[in-house]
Structure 1
Amino acid sequence: MSFDSLGLDAEILKAIQEQNYTDPTPIQQQAIPVILSGKDLMASAQTGTGKTAGFGLPILQKWVEQQAQTTNKLEAKKGKRPLYALILAPTRELAAQIGENIREYSRYLPIRSLVVFGGVSINPQMMKLRGGVDVLIATPGRLLDLVQQNAVDLSTIKMLVLDEADRMLDMGFIHDIRRVIAKLPKKRQNLMFSATFSDEIKVLAQSILHAPELVAVAKTNSASEQITQYVHRVDKRRKRELLSYLIGKNQWQQVLVFTRTKYGANHLAEQLTKDGIKAAAIHGNKSQGARTKALADFKSGQIRALVATDIAARGLDIELLPYVVNYELPQVAEDYVHRIGRTGRAQNEGQAISLVCIDELPQLKAIEKLIKKTIPELTTQGFEVDPKIKAEPIKKSSQRRVPPKRGSANSNRSPQFNQNGVKSSSRHNHTKNKQPN
């Protein structure tokens, strides 16, 4: 199957050819015809499989078809255009990435798209909305702020997309989502994309979707086959030393590192920089300007290590990212899949290394049970585990995000930044000095 056979407009095909898209991925092959048929869709696909194009391209195609049927072209040219599609995303980073993709796919179309999220001034977003927008990509909280300010009319929407729906529930957005949906027209097409089909997701789907087509292109909670996974047992106090050693010895030039806490991310980034490895942290307490700059510097190669909390596990799309390191294993096993899914994207290969201390063995066991495989183990001479160290309980932090009250001092909406701110042995048969290439 080719993109030509999917019935897409010539201007859309021209744009995606310039993005070096050749053949549609499995999620695109299955989702695009369903969406173009007008049916609701409930799709499960692992991260990095081309989901954004899976819903973005048919949205643009349907918009093109609607424009061809529009009688009052003059009003459209004057900017008096109704909002056509709404795409909801859980994080600022994911919303920005979707917005960038939509702009790339629609570069030859007279369509207007806009990304809105918190952490930046709301006024420029309101001004752009007044000028007329066809496709709006938003985080739930900021969208409701704009609705409250009468800056956006949701009553004209023909298509709704919930991307990373399971993550939105994890982050506590269910009430915001329901408030948004209550303001939408009842007659619309609904598309839900989720990495997992938990009971909560099924309940949400039943309340939103109408007789949806089901699409699943990978086993639920499975990691991409392009990702080579390793575990490296190490004492907790020596993790940072080992990480610096691995980055230096293997000459990793771009590595995304995950920690459990914001403080841990800041501290690790500082320590790596002191070790001569330029690093930056990205998490929810960082201003949007700082987060945008850190990500841009990482993509451009100005920093080698980006240290992130799970807020970045689904919102980052970094082309050809070679390495992901779990400096600390996540408390929720499913988050492991989303973390390592930042590499091995779009048919590219990647490596994921987890630094595991004795305290984290229960988390490792849960992850291996989830992905239904034993992760091979690496060892490094000089970093052997001290058998005298006993396990200590890991202090747990809340996994669910409770969105701050809009307008509160903690809402993290700072006006000073603009929108763009722009072969290994098993764990029981160690092999010394076996490192990923």
Structure 2
Amino acid sequence: MSFKDLKLNKPILRAVAEAGYDNPTLVQEQTIPFVLERRDVITSAQTGTGKTAAFALPILQLLYDKQTAPKKGKKIKALVISPTRELAIQINKNFVTYAAHTNLTSAVVYGGTSIEPQKDILKKGIDILVATPGRLLDLHKQDLLNLDYIETLVLDEADLMLDMGFIDDVKKIDRLCPDTKQTLLFSATMPFKVEQLANSILKNPERIEVTPTSSAAKNVSQVLYYVPKQSKIELCLHVLRNTIEGNILIFRRTKFGVDKLHETLINNGFTAERLHGDRSQIERQNALADFKRGKVNILIATDVAARGIDIIDLDAVINFDLPNVPETYVHRIGRTGRAGEFGNSYSFCSADEKPYVKAIQQLINVQIPVEETHPYPLDPKAQPVVHKKQGSKYRKGRKGEGSKQKKKRWY
């Protein structure tokens, strides 16, 4: 199937061709016709499957006929809600690319940066708005945003949105838009909470599931290293020096862990950048730009900071800390081995993370090969380290020895 078969008009087809895409991906092939029919849609697909174009192209097509700017300025007709700033910026870039040969305009608004330039853009009027939930509601509260003309509402990365605690904001945004709108929900995984949200705001939706969310990327070679927790940094340095070349994305569970590993790599002569929620918007953008430009070849990130960012030519992913949610593993390793290329994933597992490996292998239905020849092997009998709190010597009874002796009481 080609993009022409999806009944897209010439200006959009031209922009798609210029962006270097010949044929639609499976998720685009299945989603676009339903969106063009103005149906509500739930699409479950991993990142890297072309989800953004699956909603961006049909939205542009639907708005194309109404693109003449009225005298009072344009009204926002399509709203895309995204959980993170990076993802919102990425989605807007795609809209700009695909709308190159139309008069349709889009803009992006997000928190953590000055609100004034965003106010100016909104005053001029736009057709499509991409936003993070907090900043959108903030602008609406200040009466700088009119959602009365929304025809299509897109909730992207819905599972991450709920993980980040945005469920009430999402419901509020849904209520602020007209009842007649079309709603599109995209999610990498479909946990119960996402199902609940979908049932409460979508009307008789079409369901599309592209490659079960449990299937791990087929073009990714996976390797598992068993290693004592305290030796993970040494193992990471060993692997970076002897095994991996090219652009590498390393995942850590905490912001503190990201900072600690970043400092160690810099001190050992590597070029690295880091992404996590405590860094300012400008710092995060610069870190990502340096990595994409090749100024640094290692990017260390938390899951939330790295979700949805599109990195082309990623050679390897390192799971420094294994995720406790098995779907997250699938998500992480899916960053490499995209678009027909081959990639590698390396996972470090300490004694307390063994249950995570079991859950991951059950989900992907694959036994991950173990690399046993490395300098920091884990003792197979090693038990997880349990940090016990030091108890009081008076723990079992409230009275000290002295008070337990028979004493004359006043009663």
| TM-score using structure 1 length | 0.85
User: Conserved in 2, the CA contact under 8 Å of 1:254 and 1:305?
Assistant: yes
Residue 270 of structure 2 is matched in structure 1 by: 277
Distance 1:140 1:203 in 2: 19
Cross-structure match for 1:368: 361
Distance 2:217 2:209 in 1: 14
- Cα deviation per residue 1:196-255 (whole Å; 9 max; x = unaligned)? 222211111111111111111111332221222221112222211221222222352210
Distance, in Å, in 2 between the alignment partners of 1:312 and 1:339 is 12
Which residue does the alignment assign to 1:84? 77
Match of 1:29, as an amino acid? E
Higher relative contact order (CA 8 A, sep 6+): 1
Distance in 2, matches of 1:145 and 1:346, equals: 38
Q: Which SS does the other structure have where 2:289 is aligned?
A: helix
Give the 3 Å change call, closer, same or farther, for CA 198–387 of structure 1 in structure 2: closer
Match of 1:26 in 2: 26
* Cα 1:339–1:241 shift into 2, 3 Å: same
User: How far is the alpha carbon of 1:315 from its aligned partner?
Assistant: 2.4
Aligned to 1:203: 196
Partner of 1:97: 90
Opposite residue 117 of structure 1, the aligned amino acid is: Y
- Do residues 123 (structure 1) and 116 (structure 2) align? yes
Q: Partner residue of 1:391?
A: 384
> Which residue matches 1:63?
63
Residue 390 (structure 1) shift:
3.1
What code does the residue aligned with 1:94 have? Answer: L
The residue aligned with 2:284 is 291
Aligned to 2:402: none
- Which residue of the partner structure matches residue 394 of structure 2? none
User: Which residue is 1:166 aligned to?
Assistant: 159
Question: Following the alignment from structure 2 to structure 1, what is the Cα–Cα distance between the partners of residues 154 and 265?
Answer: 39
Q: Cα deviations across residues 277-330 of structure 1 (Å, max 9, x unaligned)?
A: 111211000000110010000111111211101113422110121111100011
Please point out which of 65, 75, 100 is paired with 1:107: 100
CA distance in structure 1 between the aligned counterparts of 2:23 and 2:381, rounded to whole angstroms:
54
User: Secondary structure at the residue paired with 2:65?
Assistant: helix
| 3-state secondary structure, aligned to 2:66 | helix
Provide the residue aligned with 2:397 in structure 1: none
Two-structure CA RMSD over aligned residues (Å): 1.7
- The 8 Å contact of residues 279 and 305 in structure 1, kept in 2 or not, is answered as yes
CA-CA distance at 1:59 after TM superposition: 0.6
Q: 1:118-162 deviations in whole A, cap 9, x for unaligned?
A: 111111111100011111111111110110111110110000101
CA distance in 1, matches of 2:387, 2:295: 34
Local SS of the residue matching 1:215: strand
Match of 2:392 in 1: none
Structure 1: which 5+ runs fail to align? 68-72, 396-437
Flag structure 2 segments of 5+ consecutive residues without an equivalent: 389-411
1:57 partner amino acid: L
Q: Contact 2:247–2:313 at 8 Å: present in 1 too?
A: no
- Which residue number in structure 2 is paired with residue 424 of structure 1? none
Contact 1:90–1:167 under 8 Å retained in 2: yes
Identity of aligned residues (%): 47
For residues 5 and 82 of structure 2, the distance between their equivalents in structure 1, rounded to whole angstroms, comes to 29
The secondary structure found in structure 2 opposite 1:392 is coil
Q: Residue 335 of structure 1: CA displacement? A: 1.7
How many pairs are equivalent? 388
Change (3 A) 1:350 1:211: same
Q: Tell me, in whole angstroms, the C-alpha distance in 2 between the residues paired with 1:82 and 1:257.
A: 42
* Contact 1:359–1:393 (8 Å) recurs in 2: no
Partners of 1:37 and 1:228 in 2: CA distance: 40
Question: Any runs of at least 4 consecutive aligned residues in structure 1 with deviations exceeding 6 A, and if so which?
Answer: none
Is 2:218 the partner of 1:225?
yes
CA distance in 2, matches of 1:346, 1:207: 35
Q: Give the Cα–Cα distance (whole angstroms) in 1 for the partners of residues 229 and 247 of structure 2.
A: 23
SS in 1 for 2:354: helix
More off after superposition, 267-276 vs 373-382? 373-382
Cross-structure match for 1:379: 372
Q: Which amino acid aligns with 1:16?
A: V
1:317-396 superposed matches below 5 A: 317-387=310-380, 389-393=382-386
Q: For 1:181-192, what aligned pairs fall within 5 Å after superposition?
A: 181-192=174-185
Contact 1:46–1:221 at 8 Å: present in 2 too? no
Q: Which whole-Å deviations, capped at 9, do the CAs of 1:324-343 have from their partners, x for residues lacking one? A: 11000112222212222222
Counterpart of 1:40 in structure 2 is 40
Q: Secondary structure at the match of 1:186?
A: coil
Q: Distance in 2 between matches of 1:359 and 1:215?
A: 37
Q: Report how far residue 371 of structure 1 moved.
A: 1.9
CA contact (8 A) 2:275 2:306 kept: no
After superposition, the Cα gap between the structure-2 partners of 1:232 and 1:184, relative to the gap in structure 1 and judged at 3 Å, is same
Larger-gyration structure (1/2): 2
CA distance in 2: counterparts of 1:130 and 1:280, whole angstroms:
36
Question: Is 1:49 matched with 2:49?
Answer: yes
Conserved 8 A contact 1:48-1:344: no
**1:91 & 1:221 partners in 2: Cα distance?**
23
